[in-house]
């Protein structure tokens, strides 16, 4: 500022103020120009650093990514994308000390745009890292209902799936189930999406829901081997053995190397063959199955007693064992087998099968899981018990 | 050598200021005449006070613009010299600050001799010694040298240079507009507030700092201008650089009053650290300045080398202002051991950078040291007492204020700075407690604040708010004598009053006037009136009509000095009841209190 500025203009206050205003305006414009150019350079530099950071983050080199994102942010401190990426890298670096910083970036972004789904999703993931079900659910929901820059439906479903997986990890099955129902209602006609949903239902565990989803997959892609196997397994787990048999047969035929389906199919067929409560069998067949089950139960009881060192033949020995009680019940029921054919004895099949089921359940507890027909009878008993409850 | 260069040399802290700037004084005297011409044309439109307020806004605008450019320059230097990505174990870390130090030294020694150091005490000198004169060249020099030094990694901050740049711009503007000497003197602090507010993005703290440290006393007359300039500069800076705060503040909490003990401990530790920091600067600075002149060309380079070496060996966080590292510390990125190491290394690095004469400020380093110390102490306390609820971020923030209070000795600024930076009033109590502890410890171990110490090392004694706060003020009540036993009434006759004073040993008597007021009459006067046959007249009719001035007990004793030569005694009355006499002061009682003999004795 020259000390010898020519004093050509009369020095009155308005003139001075006008001159100062002009000088301020010119300076402002000059600095604006300078700042704009500087910012453009910085933005270009920031983009390069951001690309470096992204590459490092994708390669899971999080320390390198964090340094690059920080440098990018120093070039453009208000860039939301850089902040979000830095927060993600901080979160993903698996250093609990960095979660605070990640959260602070994300909260700043969230305060600026609370509807931003990506920010909410990142915050949800931070909350999930911390194990906070309440915060995570809130932010995941914000993400689902927030604004996505692209492909909102898929992103919403992905967010919900992530939330479900988190809830399942935290054993919050009831919340997971309600999210699964919402997910199932919003799925597009995409076999993969339904397949993923079905697998989540299985984890819940909600086998009926899983079966429905597998059936949706098969509706869209009838030869989908994974869906056939899944549907078979879900039906098997939910006690729909006839349906399970159908799907499992298809699964084994579509993929003969699928050992699990083969194992389940064998078990299912055993159950279907042995089940006296099957609706589409004749009375004679039902009676045959009851009789076979009854004597199978006796065999199981005898073998289990031998295994457990209980002498069932010598009734004088004062051994207090539930197996003796079971034997007594079996002996008591044996004469009634002859009455099965009588139409008046409508409750008899149930009463005899109750004895069979009690023997199978108790021996499973004492002697371990059974094999073959015993296993089938045990599963039928469990299914029947669940149905009665 | 021009006038300006003389001032340049005398105002830099490279040499003691022995010449109290006669040239600007004479210039200013000359300008007083021209300024009267100027303002005579403004009559009816703007009087000087209004004009000064408007000018403050323009000072804020220009300072803000300058600070924006200054910050860009630092960033650009940093990117150009050290690269965008932080690197450890890179040769650049110590080579760049060393070479930049050499360049800075040549510039400071040859071209800009007034730009050494922080700039706070130079601005204060301008206010109290040089009639507000700061050469514009100082602003240019400070801009270039500080940007180079800080950008190259010297452990200094941009705030104090911004303060001086603002003051320098204000001074140049004031001189150019030929405002009165009184106002010109005030231009420097107005510009200083603008510069500091722009650098800190914190107008309240800037205003308080300028009042506490630069002006050194509360002055209502300048407050409006300082606030206007600070606010306008912050508006400018925010319009260009955004309103993002210096740090991203994490969630800060204060739940239990018992936790104040933890913050008090932080305050005490901070107080000791402040003393260590101040004493190391106070010890080294005069010794380095006393070395042969040629060594001053090398000192900034050596300081740069040392700072760079610390960075090279694994602590690049201490280089430059360090706001990024403070931000990371606030978010718990460092373990307490590393935080403590960073605090110690930053004290070392800033001490060598500052005492070497490299232009740059101590605000940012002070905040850095406080932040690291706060984080370390907080983490240790939480390890020992896990029930403490304060986060690392809370301790880091409080730590910043602690060092500010202890090292810079600006207790009010320190509190408001933390509040303004954090935007969180929940931690005000911990901040006040910790800052007070730090201030008390620092005050008891180091009697002279850092900026006063620097100015005294330069051979100057400048007023400070701390001195003013602690100065014992003499009041009228301290010199007050008891109510005299004999008080005459102006309504009584002269002979009755002469009769009443016969038994008194006093030579002067207080006369109660009617309906109010006081007067005084001497024994000799009374006797003379009686001899002159005026005994049957009332005292009111013979005494002069003008009453005695009266004083109040709480007034400063200086106010009694105005009257003691004209009146033998002065009544001291009650503020609530002017008829009620509290006592009297006499010339003797006043001078006795000042510890001096009465001039007439």
* Secondary structure (H, E, C), B400-432: HHHHHHHHHCCHHHHHHHHHHHHCCHHHHHHHH
B500 is a domain residue = yes
Query: Does the pLDDT at position A107 exceed 50?
Result: yes
Are B389 and B260 in contact by the 8 Å Cβ rule? The answer is: no
Instruction: Supply the DSSP string of A309-377, one letter for each residue.
Output: T--SS-TTS----HHHHHHHHHHHHGGGGGGGG-TT-TTHHHHHHHHHHHHHHHHHHHH----HHHHHH
* Residue B407 or A325, more confident: B407
Q: Residue B25: its pLDDT value, please?
A: 41
Residue-wise pLDDT for B404-422, tens only, equals: 999 999 888 999 988 888 7
- Within 8 A of A4 by CB-CB distance, chain B residues are none
Query: Does the pLDDT at position A350 exceed 50?
Result: yes
Residue A80 Cα, gap to closest chain B Cα (Å): 13
Scanning every residue of chain B, which has its alpha carbon at the shortest distance from the alpha carbon of A28? B65
* Residue A52 or A73, more confident: A52
Q: What CA–CA distance (Å, rounded) separates B500 from B539?
A: 13
* Residue B520 or B36, more confident: B520
Q: Do A101 and B41 touch (CB under 8 A)?
A: no
3-state secondary structure of B571: strand
Q: Residue A317: its pLDDT value, please?
A: 56
B215 is a domain residue = yes
B223 and B109 in a common domain: yes
Are B32 and B180 in contact by the 8 Å Cβ rule? The answer is: yes
pLDDT, mean of residues B160-177? 91
B90 is a domain residue = yes
Domain CATH for B530: 3.10.580.10
Of B38, B62, B241, which is closest to A27 when you measure between CB atoms? B62
Q: Residue B30: its pLDDT value, please?
A: 46
Are B308 and B353 in contact by the 8 Å Cβ rule? The answer is: no
- Within 8 A of A64 by CB-CB distance, chain B residues are none
- Within 8 A of B391 by CB-CB distance, chain A residues are 100
Q: What CA–CA distance (Å, rounded) separates B405 from B269?
A: 12
Indicate the number of domains in chain B: 3
B514 and B429 in a common domain: no
- Within 8 A of B38 by CB-CB distance, chain A residues are 11
**A318 band by pLDDT with thresholds 50, 70 and 90:** low
Q: Residue A2: its pLDDT value, please?
A: 41
Residue A126 Cα, gap to closest chain B Cα (Å): 15
3-state secondary structure of A297: helix
B251 is a domain residue = no
**A3 band by pLDDT with thresholds 50, 70 and 90:** very low
B323 and B217 in a common domain: no
B41 and B155 in a common domain: yes
Residue B38 Cα, gap to closest chain A Cα (Å): 6
Query: Does the pLDDT at position B39 exceed 80?
Result: no
Q: What CA–CA distance (Å, rounded) separates B348 from B365?
A: 11
The residue out of B421, B449, B470 marking a domain boundary is: B470
Q: Residue A271: its pLDDT value, please?
A: 84
CATH topology for A38-112 is 1.25.40
pLDDT, mean of residues B57-63? 95
Query: Does the pLDDT at position B84 exceed 80?
Result: no
Please return the burial class of A8, using the count of CB atoms within 10 Å of its CB with bins 0-12, 13-18 and 19+. exposed
3-state secondary structure of B390: coil
pTM greater than 0.95:
no
B24 is a domain residue = yes
Q: Residue B377: its pLDDT value, please?
A: 94
B564 and B492 in a common domain: yes
| Residue among B439, B375, B380 nearest B407 (CA) | B439
B572 and B466 in a common domain: no
Scanning every residue of chain B, which has its alpha carbon at the shortest distance from the alpha carbon of A66? B85
| Residue among B549, B488, B547, B550 nearest B523 (CA) | B488
B600 is a domain residue = no
Query: Does the pLDDT at position B26 exceed 70?
Result: no
B252 is a domain residue = no
Domain CATH for B124: 1.10.3080.10
B249 is a domain residue = no
Q: Residue A320: its pLDDT value, please?
A: 65
Helices B323-330 and B392-403: angle between axes, nearest 10 degrees: 140
Whether residue A45 lies within 8 A of chain B, CB to CB, comes out as yes
Of A1, A70, A75, which is closest to B176 when you measure between CB atoms? A1
Q: Residue B596: its pLDDT value, please?
A: 63
pLDDT, mean of residues B376-386? 91
pLDDT, mean of residues B122-137? 84
The residue out of B444, B470, B496 marking a domain boundary is: B470
The residue out of B470, B488, B504 marking a domain boundary is: B470
Whether residue A98 lies within 8 A of chain B, CB to CB, comes out as yes
B335 and B294 in a common domain: yes
Q: Do B55 and A1 touch (CB under 8 A)?
A: no
B275 and B329 in a common domain: yes
pLDDT, mean of residues B22-34? 44
Whether residue A38 lies within 8 A of chain B, CB to CB, comes out as yes
Scanning every residue of chain A, which has its alpha carbon at the shortest distance from the alpha carbon of B332? A97
Whether residue A47 lies within 8 A of chain B, CB to CB, comes out as no
How confident is the prediction for chain B on average, in pLDDT?
Answer: 84
Residue B254 Cα, gap to closest chain A Cα (Å): 18
- Within 8 A of B172 by CB-CB distance, chain A residues are 1
Q: Do B84 and A1 touch (CB under 8 A)?
A: no
Q: Do B248 and A105 touch (CB under 8 A)?
A: yes
Residue of A7, A16, A25 to mutate for B, most B C-beta atoms under 10 A: A16
Q: What CA–CA distance (Å, rounded) separates B142 from B135?
A: 11
How many angstroms from the chain centroid is the CA of residue A347?
A: 43
What ipTM did this prediction achieve? Answer: 0.74
Lowest mean pLDDT, pick from A23-27, A253-257, B597-601 = B597-601
B115 and B210 in a common domain: yes
Query: Does the pLDDT at position A358 exceed 70?
Result: yes
B237 and B266 in a common domain: no
Q: Residue B86: its pLDDT value, please?
A: 65
Delimiting residues of CATH 1.25.40 domain(s) in chain A: 38-112
Q: Do A49 and B173 touch (CB under 8 A)?
A: no
Q: Residue B153: its pLDDT value, please?
A: 92
Please name the helix (run of DSSP H) or strand (run of DSSP E) that holds residue A236, with its range, or none.
Answer: helix A225-237
| Residue among B275, B280, B253, B283 nearest B437 (CA) | B275
Scanning every residue of chain A, which has its alpha carbon at the shortest distance from the alpha carbon of B53? A17
pLDDT, mean of residues A48-69? 92
Give buried/exposed letters for B59-92 (b at 16+ CB in 10 A, else e).
Answer: bbbbbbbbbbbbbbbbbebbbebbebbbeeebeb
Residue of B23, B57, B82, B84 to mutate for A, most A C-beta atoms under 10 A: B84
Q: Residue B237: its pLDDT value, please?
A: 93
Residue B53 domain boundaries: 3-241
Query: Does the pLDDT at position B510 exceed 60?
Result: yes
Looking at residue B482, the DSSP 8-state letter turns out to be P
pLDDT, mean of residues A244-271? 88
């Amino acid at each position: 500022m020259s000390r010898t500025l020519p004093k050509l203009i009369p020095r009155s206050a308005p003139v001075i103020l006008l001159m100062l205003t002009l000088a301020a305006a010119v300076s402002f414009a000059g600095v604006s120009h300078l700042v704009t150019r500087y910012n453009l350079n910085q933005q270009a530099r920031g983009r390069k650093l951001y690309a470096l950071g992204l590459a490092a983050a994708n390669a899971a080199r999080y320390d390198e990514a964090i340094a690059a994102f920080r440098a990018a942010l120093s070039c453009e401190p208000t860039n939301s994308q850089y902040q979000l990426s830095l927060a993600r890298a901080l979160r993903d670096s698996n250093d609990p000390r960095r979660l605070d910083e990640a959260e602070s970036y994300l909260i700043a972004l969230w305060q600026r745009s609370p509807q931003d789904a990506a920010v909410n999703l990142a915050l949800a993931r931070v909350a999930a890292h911390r194990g906070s079900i309440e915060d995570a659910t809130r932010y995941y929901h914000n993400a689902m209902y927030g604004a996505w820059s692209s492909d909102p439906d898929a992103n919403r479903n992905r967010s919900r799936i992530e939330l479900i997986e988190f809830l399942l990890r935290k054993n919050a099955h009831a919340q997971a189930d309600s999210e699964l129902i919402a997910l199932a209602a919003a799925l597009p006609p995409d076999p993969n999406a339904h397949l993923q949903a079905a697998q989540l239902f299985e984890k819940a565990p909600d086998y009926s829901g899983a079966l429905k989803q597998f059936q949706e997959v098969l509706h869209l892609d009838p030869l989908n081997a994974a869906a056939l196997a899944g549907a078979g397994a879900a039906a098997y787990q939910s006690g729909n053995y006839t349906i399970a048999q159908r799907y499992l047969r298809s699964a084994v035929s579509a993929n003969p190397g699928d050992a699990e389906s083969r194992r389940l199919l064998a078990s299912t067929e055993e159950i279907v063959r042995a089940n006296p409560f099957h609706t589409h069998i004749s009375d004679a067949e039902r009676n045959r199955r009851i009789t076979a089950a009854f004597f199978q139960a006796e065999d199981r009881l005898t073998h289990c007693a031998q295994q457990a060192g209980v002498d069932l033949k010598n009734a004088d020995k004062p051994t207090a064992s539930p197996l003796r009680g079971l034997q007594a019940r079996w002996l008591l029921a044996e004469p009634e087998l002859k009455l099965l054919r009588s139409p008046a004895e409508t409750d008899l099949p149930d009463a005899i099968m109750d004895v069979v089921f009690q023997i199978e359940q108790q021996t499973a507890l004492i002697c371990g899981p059974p094999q073959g027909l015993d296993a089938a009878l045990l599963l039928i008993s469990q299914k029947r018990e669940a149905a009665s409850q | 050598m021009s006038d300006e260069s003389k001032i340049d040399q005398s105002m830099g802290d490279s040499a003691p200021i022995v010449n109290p700037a006669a040239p600007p004084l004479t210039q200013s005297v000359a300008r007083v005449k021209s300024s009267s011409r100027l303002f005579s044309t403004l009559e009816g439109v703007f009087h000087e006070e209004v004009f000064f307020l408007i000018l403050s806004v323009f000072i804020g605008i220009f300072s803000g613009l300058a600070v924006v450019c200054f910050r860009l320059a630092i960033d650009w230097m940093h990117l150009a010299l050290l690269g965008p990505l932080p690197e450890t174990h890179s040769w650049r870390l110590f080579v760049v600050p060393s070479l930049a130090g050499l360049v800075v030294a040549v510039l400071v020694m040859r071209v800009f001799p007034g730009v050494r150091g922080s700039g706070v005490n130079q601005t204060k000198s301008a206010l109290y010694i040089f009639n507000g004169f700061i050469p514009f060249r100082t602003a240019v020099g400070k801009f270039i040298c500080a940007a180079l030094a800080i950008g190259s990694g010297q452990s200094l901050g941009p705030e104090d240079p911004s303060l001086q740049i603002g003051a320098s711009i204000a001074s140049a503007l004031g001189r150019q507009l030929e405002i009165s000497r009184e106002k010109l003197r005030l231009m420097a602090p107005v510009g200083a507030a603008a510069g500091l507010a722009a650098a800190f993005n914190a107008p309240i703290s800037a205003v308080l700092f300028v009042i506490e440290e630069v002006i050194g006393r509360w002055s209502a007359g300048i407050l409006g201008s300082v606030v206007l300039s600070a606010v306008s500069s912050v508006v400018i800076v925010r319009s260009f650089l955004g309103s993002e705060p210096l740090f991203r503040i994490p969630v800060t909490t204060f739940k239990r009053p018992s936790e104040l003990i933890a913050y008090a401990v932080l305050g005490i530790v901070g107080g000791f650290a402040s003393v260590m920091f101040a004493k190391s600067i106070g010890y080294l600075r005069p010794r380095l300045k006393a070395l042969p002149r040629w060594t001053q060309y090398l000192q900034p380079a050596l300081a740069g080398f040392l700072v760079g070496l610390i960075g090279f060996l694994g602590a690049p966080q201490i280089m430059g202002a360090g706001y990024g590292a403070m931000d990371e510390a606030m978010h718990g990125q460092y373990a307490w051991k590393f935080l403590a190491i960073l605090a110690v290394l930053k004290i070392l690095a800033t001490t060598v950078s500052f005492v070497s004469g490299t232009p740059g400020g101590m605000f940012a380093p002070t905040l850095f040291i406080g932040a690291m110390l706060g984080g370390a102490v907080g983490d240790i306390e939480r390890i020992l007492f896990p029930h403490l609820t304060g986060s690392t971020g809370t301790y880091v923030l409080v730590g910043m204020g602690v060092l500010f209070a202890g090292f810079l000795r600006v207790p009010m600024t320190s509190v408001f700075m933390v509040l303004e930076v954090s935007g969180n009033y929940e931690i005000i109590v911990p901040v006040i407690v910790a800052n007070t502890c730090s201030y008390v410890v620092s005050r008891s171990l180091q009697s002279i604040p850092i900026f006063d110490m620097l100015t005294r090392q330069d051979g100057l004694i400048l007023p400070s708010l701390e001195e003013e706060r602690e100065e014992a003020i003499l009041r009228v009540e301290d010199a007050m004598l008891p109510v005299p036993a004999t008080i005459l009434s102006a309504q009584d006759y002269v002979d009755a009053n002469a009769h009443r004073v016969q038994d008194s040993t006093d030579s002067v008597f207080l006369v109660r006037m009617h309906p109010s007021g006081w007067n005084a009459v001497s024994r000799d006067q009374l006797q003379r009136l009686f001899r002159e046959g005026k005994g049957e007249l009332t005292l009111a009719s013979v005494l002069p009509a003008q009453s005695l001035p009266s004083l109040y007990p709480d007034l400063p004793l200086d106010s009694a000095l105005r009257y003691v030569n004209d009146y033998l005694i002065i009544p001291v009355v009650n503020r609530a009841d002017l008829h009620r006499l509290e006592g009297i002061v006499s010339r003797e009682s006043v001078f006795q209190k000042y510890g001096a003999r009465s001039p007439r004795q």
